[in-house]
Chain A
Amino acid sequence: MNFDDTPQEAAFRAEARAWIAANAPKQYEDELAKASLGRLVLSGANVLDVAKAWQKKKADAGWACLHWPKEYGGRGSSPIERVIWQQEEGAFGKLSRMFIIGHGMCGPTMMAYASEEHKRNYLPPLASGEKVWCQLFSEPAGGSDVAGLRTRAERDGDDWVINGQKIWTSGAHYSDYGILITRTDPTVPKHKGLTMFFLDMKSPGVEIKPIKQANGQSEFNEVYFTDVRIPDSQRLGAVGDGWNVSLTTLMNERMSIGASVATGFPELFDYCNDLVIDGAPAIDDRAVRAKLANWAVKASGLKYTAFRSISALSRGERPGPENSIGKLVAGSMIQEVATYALDLQGAAGVVSDPAQAEVAGKFQAMLLRSPATRVEGGTDEILRNIIAERVLGLPGDIRVDKDVPFNKIPTKGRG
Chain B
Amino acid sequence: MNFEFSDDQKQLRDQARRFLAEKCPPKAVRAVLEGSAGYDKALWSGLAEMGFLGVAIPEEFGGTGAGHLELCVIAEEMGRALAPVPFSSTVYLAAEALMLAGSDAQKQKWLPKIASGEAVGALALFEGPGNPSPQAIKVAAANGVLNGVKKPVADGAIADFAIVAARVGSSGRETDIALYLVDLKAGGVEAKTLTNVDPSRNQAELTFKNCKAEPLGAANEGWSILTRVLDRAAVLMAFEQVGGADRALEMGRDYALDRIAFGRQIGSFQAIKHILADMYVAATLARSNCYYGAWALSTNAGELGEAAATARISATQAFQHCSKQNIQVHGGMGFTWEFDCHLYYRRSNALALSLGSLSYWEDQLIERMRKKNVA
Contacts and interface: CB of A to CB of B under 8 A. Distances in A.
Contacts of B276: 388, 392, 394
Interface in B265-322: 265, 267-268, 270, 272-274, 276-278, 280-281, 284-286, 288-289, 291-292, 294-295, 298-299, 309-310, 313-314, 317
A392 B329 CA distance: 14
B2 A1 contact: yes
Interface in A277-315: 283, 286, 289-290, 292-294, 296-298, 300-305, 307-308, 310-312, 315
B361 interface: yes
A306 to B, nearest CB: 8
**Most chain-A Cβ atoms within 10 A of its Cβ — which of B280, B309, B361?**
B280
A328 B281 contact: yes
Interface stretch (A2-10, A21-29, A48-56, A246-254): A2-10
6 contacts: A273-B370, A297-B314, A307-B3, A315-B4, A388-B267, A394-B276
A239 interface: no
A273 B253 CA distance: 42
Interface string B103-146: 00000000000000000000000000000000000000000000
The size bracket of the interface on A is 35 or more
A402 interface: no
Contacts of B366: 283, 289, 292-293, 296
B22 interface: no
B2 A395 contact: no
A200 to B, nearest CB: 40
Contacts of A283: 366, 370
B284 A325 contact: yes
Nearest to B361: A293
Interface in B40-61: none
Contacts of B314: 297-298, 300-301
Interface in A64-84: 80, 83
Given A297-B289, A301-B284, A1 B298 contact: yes
A100 interface: no
A382 to B, nearest CB: 11
A239 B257 CA distance: 37
A339 to B, nearest CB: 19
Given A294-B362, A385-B270, 6 more contacts: A3-B295, A289-B362, A311-B2, A325-B284, A385-B274, A395-B257
A107 to B, nearest CB: 25
Contact of B4 (A290, A308, A395): A308
**Most chain-A Cβ atoms within 10 A of its Cβ — which of B249, B256, B284, B294?**
B284
Given A4-B1, A296-B366, A307-B1, A394 B288 contact: no
A-B pairs with the 6 shortest C-beta distances?
A: A301-B285, A293-B362, A388-B273, A304-B288, A384-B277, A387-B277
A305 B288 contact: yes
Q: Is the interface of B mostly helix, strand, loop or mixed?
A: helix
A325 B299 CA distance: 29
Given A3-B295, A394-B253, A325 B281 contact: yes
B285 A305 contact: yes
B19 interface: no
Nearest to A394: B267
B274 A381 contact: yes
Nearest to A395: B268
B69 interface: yes
A389 B278 CA distance: 13
Contacts of A415: none
Contact of B274 (A4, A297, A388, A395): A388
Given A301-B314, A304-B292, A389-B273, A1 B365 contact: no
Contact of B359 (A290, A292, A305): A290
B263 to A, nearest CB: 11
Contacts of A398: 264, 268
Interface string B348-375: 0000000000010111011101100100
A395 B267 contact: yes
B295 A1 contact: yes
Contacts of B313: 293-294, 297
Interface of A: 1-5, 9, 80, 83, 269, 273, 283, 286, 289-290, 292-294, 296-298, 300-305, 307-308, 310-312, 315, 322, 325, 328-329, 381, 383-385, 387-389, 391-398
A5 B294 CA distance: 18
A269 B281 CA distance: 23
Nearest to B374: A273
A374 to B, nearest CB: 14
Contact of B289 (A3, A294, A301, A397): A301
A2 B267 contact: no
A4 B301 CA distance: 12
B278 A5 contact: no
Contacts of B6: 1
Interface string B1-40: 1111110000000000000000000000000000000000
A325 B256 CA distance: 21
Contacts of B265: 394-395
Contacts of A389: 273
A293 B365 contact: yes
A393 B3 CA distance: 26
Nearest to A387: B277
A162 B353 CA distance: 63
Contacts of B295: 1-3
**Most chain-A Cβ atoms within 10 A of its Cβ — which of B2, B369, B370?**
B2
B267 A311 contact: no
Interface in B57-71: 69
B291 A397 contact: no
A289 B249 CA distance: 29
Contacts of B253: 392-394
B236 to A, nearest CB: 15
B373 A273 contact: yes
A232 to B, nearest CB: 41
A384 B271 CA distance: 10
Nearest to A386: B277
B69 A300 contact: no
Nearest to B359: A290
Contact of B268 (A286, A315, A392, A397): A397
A312 B295 CA distance: 17
B244 to A, nearest CB: 17
Contacts of B278: 384
Contacts of B286: 301
A26 B75 CA distance: 48
B268 A394 contact: yes
Contact of A394 (B3, B273, B291, B294): B273
A248 B128 CA distance: 58
A304 B276 CA distance: 22
Contacts of A2: 1-2, 295, 299
